[in-house]
Amino acid sequence: MHTKPQNKKAIMLAMFGSTHKNALNELFNIENHIKMRFPDFEVKIAFTSNQIRNYWRKQSIDFIESQGLPLSLSDISGILGTIGRLNDDGFREIIVQPTHLYHGEQFIDLSEYIRGLNSIKTVKDKWLPFAKPIALGRPLLGTWGTKYDYKKDIKKLCIALKYHAELAEEKGSALVYMAHGNEYMSSGIFIEFQKIMQNTYNIPVYCGTMEGHPDLAEIFHQIALDNIKNILLTPLLVTAGDHVKNDMTGEKDSWQSFFLAKGLTVNTLCMGLASLETVAEIFAGHIIDAAGEVGILI
């Protein structure tokens, strides 16, 4: 009745996704980097956002092709669909690496998906869908617990963002980050990130969030107290998509318009973290760590 499953290896990159071409290309930069670093693994991407998956499924092949984007977007799957397809194709050792920034709602939900899949039992072990538990990598800014020191993960990201610090210094500007944040979990990780960035580069750095704390008004209060007049505004987001276009640099009610109205000189750097090879390499390191936890050989 059963044919013994094959045993191949894959890496699934769990991404929120985007409808913006430039943001997608930033995500594909991570995908290409991981493919280069792990040539013996099949590398697939999954979009966790239902809305974004539905958007691309409604687009015509001609439209996607005209944008110079991969036709696979027309059939992009979520977490369960991508893992299911991989498993159907004989991949029984799977590493899931999220492209999330920190341990928030999206990472918690992803963790529960993986926990559920890893709980599957069969009468005979040889018919289990996975030869080893699905491995789950941690976000850029690390995760809770004692296994990995999250402060070291923050430091790694700060080092990877050297380009931001050098550009701010070149322009004689303070470095201001716009992060996403949330309304119902602590976002203190961004305050820690700000402090470590300041200590790493010895320049003024401020990190605020669109949701939660510290918000725009709170970081401006500190910027004013520090008598800062010139800033480099850039997203602490994986991609420079809708939030950057509207919330950061939009003509009305944006961070840029707010700072300009306060009399500051504002330079902007509209690029997501995923565009940096140094950031993509952090994800590669987290994949190696995750593989080691479940005994998947790299």
| pLDDT tens digits, 144-166 | 899 999 999 999 999 999 999 99
Picking from 124, 130, 17, the residue whose alpha carbon sits closest to that of residue 83 is 130
CA gap 9, 26 in Å, rounded = 25
Which are the contacts of 65, defined by CB distance < 8 A and separation ≥ 6?
71
- Using DSSP bridges, classify how beta strands 174-181 and 135-136 pair: parallel, antiparallel or unpaired: unpaired
Q: What is the pLDDT of residue 114?
A: 97
CA gap 204, 223 in Å, rounded = 9
Q: How confident is the model at residue 1 (pLDDT cuts 50, 70, 90)?
A: very low
SS3 state of residue 245: helix
Answer for the pair 166, 175: CB distance below 8 angstroms, yes or no: no
Q: What is the pLDDT of residue 184?
A: 81
State the DSSP H helix or E strand holding residue 184, giving kind and residue range, or none if neither.
none
Q: How confident is the model at residue 185 (pLDDT cuts 50, 70, 90)?
A: confident
Taking phi first (over 0 means left), then psi (-120 to 50 degrees means alpha), and beta for anything else, what does residue 144 get?
Answer: beta
Fold agreement (8-146+276-294, 162-273) = yes
Rounded to two decimals, the pTM is 0.94
The pair of three-digit structure tokens given for residue 241, joined into one six-digit string: 């998509």
CA gap 35, 43 in Å, rounded = 6
| pLDDT tens digits, 208-227 | 999 999 999 999 999 999 99
- The CATH fold assigned to 162-273 is Rossmann fold (3.40.50)
Mean residue pLDDT of the chain comes to: 95
Q: What is the pLDDT of residue 6?
A: 59
Q: Token pair 């993986």 is at which residue?
A: 114
What top-level class would CATH report for the domain 8-146+276-294?
A: alpha beta
The structural domains of the chain, with segments of one domain joined by +, span 8-146+276-294, 162-273
